[in-house]
Amino acid sequence: ALKEKIDDKWRDILSPEKNLETRARIIKEITESHWQNILDLRNNGEKLFEAPADLIPAATARYLPNLEGKTLAGETVDIVDLCRGKTTLLTFEFVKFAEKHTRSFINVFEKTFEGNEKTQVVQVNIEENWAKAAVLKLCLPYVRRSVPKSRHARYVVHYGGVESLRGTLGIANPLIGYAFLVDSKTRIRWYANGEAVKNEAATMAVLTEALLRKHKN
């Protein structure tokens, strides 16, 4: 019986008809989701909400979910392990369009906390679409050149679906960028989306200072 199941599975994998059915279903799902995200972007703009002015209390903060990927330095890592022990600005990008969003937070963070070894930036680039993953892999040499070498070990690339992570972090539209402040115990203490506006970047810096003081104590 087990051999028959294995044989059936391989017949499905090797069957042109089955493969066409699977590809058609996946493409339909990707297309519908993609156009809905574009419609949401057009209707709601590049920002879903303005970031909060205060930290999420430690007692009610969610812990960062696990996500494994490969850094630009070539190591396989889990983002939870990368963030543990430091106050971290953690950003997520699903498309190139989102780079300007995350960069607006990263630039301020790096300028404000330059030389502070208790802080760090962890940047995560996710490609959920299996067809586009090949393109991202081809573009990695360009990404390596565009990201300072000092941050290669903290720039993580992940291929594959992340529905659970998106649900936990509240990532509603993957066409925009997301930024999170994660404390040294890997709890999510603050969040933002889209490009930094008004006082968001300044708020991020003030709240990071507060986390550093708490970590020191």
Rounded to whole angstroms, how far apart are CA atoms 93 and 40? 17
**What's the pLDDT at 20?**
42
Contact (CB, 8 A) for 75 and 108:
no
What residues have CB less than 8 Å from 34, skipping those under 6 apart?
none
Q: For the sheet containing 119-127, what is the strand order?
A: 76-78, 68-71, 155-159, 119-127, 87-93, 178-182, 188-193
**What's the pLDDT at 135?**
64
SS3 (DSSP) at 45: coil
DSSP 48: S
The pLDDT averaged over each successive group of 10 residues in the chain (217 residues) is 42 42 44 47 63 92 94 95 97 89 95 95 87 67 85 92 86 87 96 90 96 81
Q: What is the pTM of this model?
A: 0.78
**What's the pLDDT at 13?**
36
**What's the pLDDT at 211?**
96
**What's the pLDDT at 30?**
42
